Each structure stands twice: as C-alpha cells, then as structure tokens.
Structure 1
Amino acid sequence: MRYVKLPNENFDEFFNSLKNWGKVYAPVKQGNIYTFKNVEKLSEVSLNYTRTMLPPKKFFVKPRDEMLRLKDSRWEKCGEAEKTVLFGVHSCDIHGLQILDKVYLDEPADPYYKERRENSIIIGISCMPDEYCFCKSLGTDFAMSGFDLFLHELPDGWLVRVGSVRGHEISWANEELFEEVSEDDLKNFRAFEERRAKAFKKKLNKEGLADMLDLAYDSPVWKKYEKICLGCGNCNMVCPTCRCYEVCDKWINAYEAVRERRYDSCFMVSHGLVAGGHNFRPTRLDRFRHRYYCKNYFDPEAGFNCVGCGRCDEFCPAKIEHVKVLDEVREALE
C-alpha cells in the first residue's frame, strides 16, 4: 500500500479534481442528521460527522429501485449506472459494503449492484467514535481494503493510503498536490489512532457469542425486549448490511408496468409469510430475536453481519441498545 500526504492548502483543489472521476457525494448535515448528498464545494461537506442515517449502501442497493420497465410488450432494463465518487466514507461502512459484496457479487452476480460498484470510487476518511460506536469490538474500525483512497487527519493535512489501482490513478493524476510522508506525519498518524482507540465507550463481548446464542434461544431477555420493540423496522432500514428486499410489479396502465425492488424488513409480519399462508416468524418475539441471530451469529467464512456502526441504537424510537441486549442475554445464562 502506498502512503502520501495531502497538505491542507491542497485539499480544496484535490476535492474539486474528484469531479473529473464522477458525481461527488459526501456527508452533509440536514437538521440533526447527516446524509450523503451530491456536493459541488468542499464547504458543503461535514468532515467531522459520526454517521449518516442511511449508509452508503443506498447507492448500490437503493431503497426503491426500478429494475425493468414493460413497454410495447417488452421488458427493458431501467437506466445506466452513473460514475460516482463517494467521499468521506467511514471504515465501518466500507466493511459493510464488503459484506454486501459477498452477497451481491457471488455467482450469479446481481447485475445492478455489480455495475454500480464498478462505476464507483470510494474515498474513506478517519473519524472519532461517539457513545453508539462499537466497531472496534468487531475489528471494523480500520479498513485495510475496500477503498480507493483513505484519508487520515494530520495537524497540517491528511495522510492518504492508496488502496486500489484506481486510487493510484487518482493520485498520479494529482501528483503535484501530494508530498512524501515524513516521520513526523507517521508519528502524528499513530498518535491519532491511539487516541481514537481509547475513545470507544461501548464494547461488544464477542467471546463465545455463537455458543451463547445457541444456549439463549428461549432467554427471557428476548421476551422483555419484544414488549419494548415497536416492530417498526427502523433498524433494518438504516443498517449497512441488511440486504432483504421484495420485488413487485406496478402497473401504470394496461400496457405499461414497472418492476421495482425495494427494501424489506424482517420486522414486518409479511417478511416470513410463504405460500400456503404459513408464517415462519409469526410473532414479534420471533422477529426481534431473529435480527440478533442474523447480525451476531459468527460464520467462520463470512464473519459477523454487524459492523458496529451504532445506527440501530441511534435511530431506534424505543431506544433499544444492541450491545446492551446481548450483554443481558449473556448475564441471564450465568
């Protein structure tokens, strides 16, 4: 991996150069939340954000996605993937996209997801955790792959890690904006990472988590939180690794229709409904417990399906805390 330095005085010019590679989307503050939006100027970007409400997966698996359009008795693919630069993606969300890659790019690859991934540039940026973050517990607080460039804040600029062929192309095209990394820069980089590691307030105990979940299927803790949970599905909608969707045909008239894919939630009663009217998760208890098994049951090949971003905690209207639930389940077994 190549390391270069981007001085503060060159940051604006570097940002503007990204428009040559695609439409730039970056975190922008809207009210009390942050969202990835198309931006034209660096001054529009909130570099010190903690998390956006919807993760960057929305660019690859859209909340509502027109797949096919029926016209003149023929189904035609909708749209083409635009060249996209996602600027300011945090490490946990990069790991989230890599989890989605294992699902959507496995054979047979999803053509919509694949085309969008191939036409995107991922530029990561360093962050400081808040009271919801527990990515350090899951090893997703630092990304070693899955990005083109990753920017780490220094006192007088940014240490840039180049993580792909396209990342090298961007750095070569802007070679005059970068400098060699000095010993002081590396010292400041290490100091920031050490300070960041100590800033995490929340920790998930992973030890024996799969065994614990095997033993805790009938834990009274699930029943306790089932009564608190609103069953709204907010946690699914904001999760960077949830990938359930449904497909439906919307008729415009007798001769035209649109086939649409949209997010689905395992908290919805209809999610477990199958042919014959059987529902294999008929109660809220079944659905609440299922999400924890889906996210936290460790697969030796795939790892966890949770990246510790804290979105499910922050945006839960019932204020249910993911780690707290698992801690209580563990304590109930002792």
Structure 2
Amino acid sequence: MRYVKLPKENTYEFLERLKELGKLYAPVKISDKFYDFREIDDVRKVEFHYTRTIMPPKKFFFLPREKLFEFSISKAEYREVIENVEPFVLFGVHACDIYGLKILDTIYLDEFPDKYYKARREKGIIIGISCMPDEYCFCNLRETDFADDGFDLFLHELPDGWLVRVGTPRGHRIVDKNIKLFEAVTAEDICAFREFERRRHEAFKYHEDWGNLRYLLELEMEHPMWDEQSDLCLACGICNTTCPTCRCYEVQDIVNFDGDTGYRERRWDSCQFRSHGLVAGGHNFRPTKKARFMNRYMCKNAYNEKLGISYCVGCGRCTAFCPAGINFVRNLRTILGLEEKSCPPEVTEEIPKRGFAYSTSIRGDGL
C-alpha cells in the first residue's frame, strides 16, 4: 500500500481539487447535534471531526426511492429507467460505514448484480477519514473500526496534517494528479499515527468478546428483555433507515391517470413495519411488534459469510437516533449477561463462570 502525507495547510486546496472529479459530498453540521452528508459548495463547511451522520453513505448508492422502469399496459411493454450517473466524490467516510458498503456489495454485486446499485458504485469515489469514538460507538467489537480496503483514499489525522493510505488505482491517480499537495511520510508521522490509533482504541467504551453473541441470541428467545424492550419500540423504522447495512425495499407500481401507463419504483422498507411481513392471502409471518423487534436483532447479529463479520458494523446510529431511547448495545450486553444476571441463581452457581453468564433457557426446573 502507498502512503503519503497531506499537510494541514493543503487540506482545503485538496478538497477543491476533488470537485474536479465530480460533485463533492461530505459531512456538514445541520443542527446543534446532528451531521449529514451534503453536497459541498464551500469546502470550509466540511466537518472533519464529526461523530456520525444521520443517514449512512448507502443513500448515495441504494437510493431511498428510485424509478425502475416505465410501462404501458395496452402495449404490453416496459422501458428500463437507468439514470446517467455522473462521477461523484464521497469524502469523510468512517471505517464502519466503509464496511457497511462492503456488506451491501456482497448483496447487490453478487452473481446477479443490481444494475442500479452497480452504476452508482462504479462512479462513486470513496475517501475515508479517521475518527474518535463516542459513547455510542462499538465498531471495535464488530472488527470494523479499521478499514483495510473499500476506499480510494483514507485520511488518518496527524498533528499537522493527514497520513493518507492509497487503496485503489483510482486513488493513485488522484494523488499523482495532485502530487504537489503531498509530502513523504516521516518517522515522526508514523509515531503520531501510532499514538492516535492507541488513543482511539482506548476511547471505546467497551472492550469485550462478543464471539458467542449470535448463539446466545438464539438460546435466549425467552429472555424478559424482548418483552420489555419491544413494548418501548414505536415501530417507526428509524433504526432501519439509519442503518448502513439494512437493504430491504418494497416495490410498487404507480399507474398514471390514463389507467394505461405508469412506472414501477422501489423504496426503502423496514422490517419493523407490520406491512413488511404481510403476504398474499392476508397472512403475516411476523404479526407482532415483538416478533419484528426480535427479527432485527437476529438479522443484524448474523454473520456475513463473505466478509466474516456481522451485519451490524457498530456505528451506533440505531441507539443515537431512536426516539424511544432503546439502547441496542445495552440490550445485547444483557443477552450476553454483562448488564445483569441472565441465569437463575441455582444454575449460575452450578456452571463454572467463563466470562459470560449462561442462557436462561437452562433452567433449574429442567425445562
């Protein structure tokens, strides 16, 4: 991998140069507390030390709503609508969100690629940036706090600039075209990089092993947490829309007033909506809010076989933006036995402790 240094005084000039590659999107502050990726006119509005954006970068590749094709019933024909995607730059993507895009790639770029997603993925230039975790971050537990690939360039903060990792041939071309803005990496820069990574690691709130979590979730289907927390849930779907890896959508045909022509569109859907599990004949395979609540926890903590990580990348959005105050990490730690005892006392005493309390499905009454 190639390494160069971007001095702090050249940062804004570099951002201006990026505009030559396409529209520039980056995190900006949109209120006292919140950030979001927006198109950048004034590069000095870019936030380099933001925590998390409300909407994840997936919105640029998997659109919240998009037209798939137009149709005519009388002519029995349809015409695909694939917009002419222009190159664009997504600057300031955190490592966990890069992993989120990699997970979506395994879904939408598999043996049957989604042409709409693929067109945008090929035109999007990804430039990552380092960050310091807050109380909601747990990407270290998901092994998504440091991205090895999935970016064209990645900027790591130094006291006087940025250590830049070059991840793709396109990233090499960007550096080469603007080589006068960069310098060689020094021994002092390497020490500063190492120190930043040490402080970042120590800043995470939790340092524990979640390796058996997905199994305990299956074993603890009767844990009281499910009833308690699903009762609080508003079924609003914010946890899904803000998640970097949620990928469910619904498809609807919109017929024009002539009753003959129209179009088909797809739009984001949420597994927390009652309609998500509703199928033909009126059957709903997740009829209760509790069933939908549990399904999301099972889905996010399942493992993506291609990447070897869970479908949750630890960004903390679902907790930070939940209007009901549901804490995703606390609920998972409850299942792990790290927030409270999860076994009856008589069982806990008989089973040797190995760092986690065992499942309440192992009961003293033999059930």
| TM-score normalised to structure 1 length | 0.96
Which residue of 267, 277, 286 corresponds with 2:282? 277
Q: Indicate the structure (1 or 2) with the bigger Cα radius of gyration.
A: 2
Q: Which range moved further: 7-16 or 232-241?
A: 7-16
Q: Distance in 1 between matches of 2:209 and 2:285?
A: 30
Q: Which range moved further: 297-306 or 159-168?
A: 297-306
TM-superposition CA deviations, 1:275-327 (whole Å, max 9, x none): 22211111011000100100112355442000000000011011111111112
**Considering only aligned residues, what root-mean-square deviation do their CA atoms show, in Å?**
1.5
Q: Distance in 2 between matches of 1:114 and 1:105?
A: 7
**Counterpart of 1:128 in structure 2: which amino acid?**
M
Q: Which residue of 1 aligns with 2:361?
A: none
Q: In the TM superposition, what are the counterparts of 1:253-332 in structure 2 within 5 Å?
A: 253-254=257-258, 255-302=260-307, 303-331=309-337, 332=342
Q: Which residue of 2 aligns with 1:132?
A: 136
Q: 8 Å contact 1:21–1:84 — kept in the other structure?
A: yes
Q: 8 Å contact 1:69–1:78 — kept in the other structure?
A: no
Which residue of 65, 70, 81 corresponds with 2:85? 81
Q: Distance in 1 between matches of 2:100 and 2:171?
A: 20
Q: Which range moved further: 250-259 or 19-28?
A: 250-259
SS of aligned partner of 1:10: helix
Q: Distance in 2 between matches of 1:135 and 1:68?
A: 38
Q: 8 Å contact 2:158–2:193 — kept in the other structure?
A: yes
Q: Which residue of 2 aligns with 1:55?
A: 56
TM-superposition CA deviations, 1:56-87 (whole Å, max 9, x none): 00001111112223378642314221211000
Q: Distance in 2 between matches of 1:280 and 1:203?
A: 37
Q: Which residue of 1 aligns with 2:179?
A: 175
Q: 8 Å contact 1:131–1:202 — kept in the other structure?
A: no
Which residue of 244, 248, 257 corresponds with 1:244? 248
Q: Distance in 2 between matches of 1:143 and 1:242?
A: 20
Q: Relative CO higher for 1 or 2, CA cutoff 8 Å, sep ≥ 6?
A: 1
Q: 8 Å contact 1:209–1:298 — kept in the other structure?
A: no
Q: Distance in 1 between matches of 2:114 and 2:79?
A: 17
Q: Which range moved further: 311-320 or 197-206?
A: 197-206
Q: Which residue of 1 aligns with 2:110?
A: 106
Q: Distance in 1 between matches of 2:238 and 2:214?
A: 25
Deviation at 1:42, TM superposition (A): 1.7
Q: 8 Å contact 2:101–2:245 — kept in the other structure?
A: yes
Which residue of 163, 187, 191 corresponds with 1:187? 191
Which residue of 157, 167, 171 corresponds with 1:163? 167
Q: Distance in 2 between matches of 1:96 and 1:78?
A: 24
**What are structure 1's unaligned runs of at least 5 residues?**
none
Mark the CA change 1:204 to 1:34 in structure 2 (over 3 Å): closer, same or farther: farther
Q: Distance in 1 between matches of 2:79 and 2:96?
A: 38
Q: Distance in 2 between matches of 1:230 and 1:202?
A: 27
Deviation at 1:183, TM superposition (A): 0.3
Deviation at 1:264, TM superposition (A): 0.3
Q: Which residue of 2 aligns with 1:38?
A: 39
TM-superposition CA deviations, 1:80-136 (whole Å, max 9, x none): 212110001000000000000000000110000001000010000111111100001
Deviation at 1:252, TM superposition (A): 2.8
User: Identity across aligned pairs (percent)?
Assistant: 54
Q: 8 Å contact 2:96–2:145 — kept in the other structure?
A: yes
Deviation at 1:25, TM superposition (A): 0.3
**What are structure 2's unaligned runs of at least 5 residues?**
344-357, 359-367
Q: 8 Å contact 2:82–2:116 — kept in the other structure?
A: no
Q: 8 Å contact 1:155–1:188 — kept in the other structure?
A: yes
Q: Distance in 2 between matches of 1:292 and 1:192?
A: 33
**Counterpart of 2:9 in structure 1: which amino acid?**
E
Deviation at 1:207, TM superposition (A): 2.9
